[in-house]
Structure 1
Amino acid sequence: MEKLNKISKLFNKIYYNLFVENFKGKLNYNFPQNYYRWDLIEYLINKYGYSDYLEIGCDQDQLFSKIKIQNKVGVDPSSGGNIRKTSDEFFKENKNRFDIVFIDGLHVYDQVKKDILNSINCLKDNGIILVHDCMPDCLSKQAVPRYRMIWNGDVWKAIVDLRQRVDLEIFTCEMDQGIGIIKKEKNTSILEIKKPARNLKFKDYYANYKNFLRVISVEELKEKY
């Protein structure tokens, strides 16, 4: 996890609020209190008989250590997992294909989008990609550059961007900081926005997040998958 000193946090906060955006609205989500990302992954593994798992961004193995599957690969440049590389380095050399990919690496739009597209290229038929931290509840949790420890980044912009593609079916499950659900299928609800995703502000997200992300509950997710 990225380390921030007090000076960096203060500088980034002042910069963001002066030159990027200053918005005070806060959202209240209905995240389940007893259902987490490892529970969802276990459900999908058991339902579909998945055997090959890839995790991008492992930190201290909070998730990776809980995954029970035949083959699992965890990629992180600093700690956790079982491969010590950046995701870009890993995907450049990877020849394997995976049933399920969990993306929780660098939480900035450009890198998340790159990780998703690279994951799509090594996804098996009927595979699924999960993306963590899609639902920040306030501006400070999604600000880039980062200035607080509890941080989602602007992962949500990658989801918004890719929801405009015709060949990806994407939802976001309202659980555990928001988990994007991506399948290589026909998009049944193409998103239309008036400006590029990278130019959207948190105030745009605040007003439109349910439509932007195509938010569903855990119960609705299990009806679909």
Structure 2
Amino acid sequence: MTINRSTITQSLIDKYGFKTYLEIGVESGKNFFPIKAGRKIAVDPYLKFSPLKQFFKAIQYPANMHASYFRMESDRFFTEKADKVLQNTPLDICLVDGMHEYAYALRDTENCLNRLAANGVIIMHDCNPQTPEASYTWAQWNEHQCQGFWNGDVWKSIMHLRSLHRDINVFVLDADHGLGIVTRGAPENPLSFTQEQIERFTYADLAANRQEWLNLKPAEYFREYFKM
């Protein structure tokens, strides 16, 4: 099995019988549509598909028949829609793949944590940029007219979670641009940085401390951690 955000998501749903799946940052639905789960929720202010495509994807993948789509910012979803949509049902598994910047990714993850089931899992995409350009903020990326794959500084949200939360375990799989895995429980080798320190760190700092700061694990560690 190729280890990426799609295969990990489906493997966890299948193994643990997870019912409710939330994806933030759906875009064209490439990852969202094939996922098989009892309840699927898509959130993205710029959903890049029409109701007609939703219809055909529901035929192709029947799990989408009762999927919910919210064309809005994730902050608005959690503030205005989540209570009514979830009705006290916890989230079992979430993919955070929205705006690839520290503050946004952190806020999305913490909002998911507030509604996460006791054994739930959050997967964060784009946590391990390989070049300084890939780690730019969106403004920097556009200013320098960069090309290729943009990860942003999501890595800082990993450091924040590992430094300022003591009730979750967080690590990054070295796969698919860096997959952050967040589960409830005692943290492994927590960090002790302040938010102010994290904000000041640069890509050069990350490159010099990548293994420790990200709690970086080989892709296959996924199977060991979740006893697959």
Identify the TM-score tier after normalising by the shorter chain.
0.7 to 0.9
Question: Once the 2 structures are TM-superposed, how far is the Cα of residue 72 of structure 1 from its aligned partner?
Answer: 0.4
Using the TM superposition, give the Cα deviation of residue 186 of structure 1 relative to its aligned residue in structure 2, in angstroms: 1.5
* Residue in 1 that maps onto 2:39: 71
Matches of 1:163 and 1:173 in 2, distance apart?
15
Deviations 1:112-165 (A, max 9, x none): 111111010111110010000001000000111223242000000000111012
Q: Secondary structure at the match of 1:64?
A: coil
Q: CA deviation at 1:218?
A: 2.5
Structure 2 unaligned regions, length at least 5:
49-67
2:145 equivalent to 1:152: no
Match of 1:128 among 116, 121, 124: 121
Shift of 1:175: 0.6
Alpha-carbon separation, structure 2, partners of 1:138 and 1:48: 36
Mapped pair 1:90 → 2:77? yes
1:188-199 aligned within 5 A: 188-193=188-193, 196-199=197-200
Distance 2:219 2:134 in 1: 23
Aligned to 1:175: 175
Show the counterpart of 2:219.
Answer: 218
User: What amino acid does structure 2 have at the position aligned with 1:170?
Assistant: V
Q: Could you tell me how far 1:86 is from its partner in structure 2? A: 0.5
Q: How many residue pairs are counted as aligned between the two chains? A: 193
Between stretches 102-111 and 188-197, larger displacement belongs to 188-197
The amino acid across from 1:212 in the alignment is W
| Aligned counterparts of 1:167 and 1:126: Cα–Cα separation in 2 | 13
Q: Shift in Å at residue 187 of structure 1?
A: 1.2
Whether contact under 8 Å (1:131, 1:180) holds in the other structure is yes
Cα offset, 1:211, TM superposition: 0.5
Are 1:46 and 2:33 counterparts?
Answer: no
Q: CA RMSD in A?
A: 1.6
CA drift at 1:220: 1.5
* Residue 219 (structure 1) shift: 1.9
Q: What is the rounded CA distance, in whole Å, between the counterparts of 2:221 and 2:32 in structure 1?
A: 25
- Once the two structures are TM-superposed, the CA of residue 47 in structure 1 deviates from its matched residue by 1.1
In 2, the alpha carbon distance for the partners of 1:69 and 1:218 equals 24
Question: For residue 101 of structure 1, what is the aligned residue in structure 2?
Answer: 94
State TM-score, norm by structure 2: 0.81
Three-state SS of the structure 2 residue aligned to 1:100 is strand
1:64 is displaced (CA, Å) by: 0.4
Q: 5 Å matches for 1:26-41?
A: 34-41=2-9
1:37 CA drift (Å): 1.3
- Is contact 2:112–2:122 with CA below 8 Å preserved after alignment? yes
1:112/1:155 contact within 8 Å kept: yes
- The answer to whether the Cα contact below 8 Å between 1:161 and 1:196 also exists between their aligned partners in 2 is no
In the alignment, the residues of structure 2 paired with residue 103 and residue 200 of structure 1 have an alpha-carbon distance, to the nearest angstrom, of 22
| In structure 2, C-alpha distance between the alignment counterparts of 1:35 and 1:117, rounded to whole Å | 25
Give unpaired runs (5+ residues) of structure 1: 1-31
1:114 match: 107
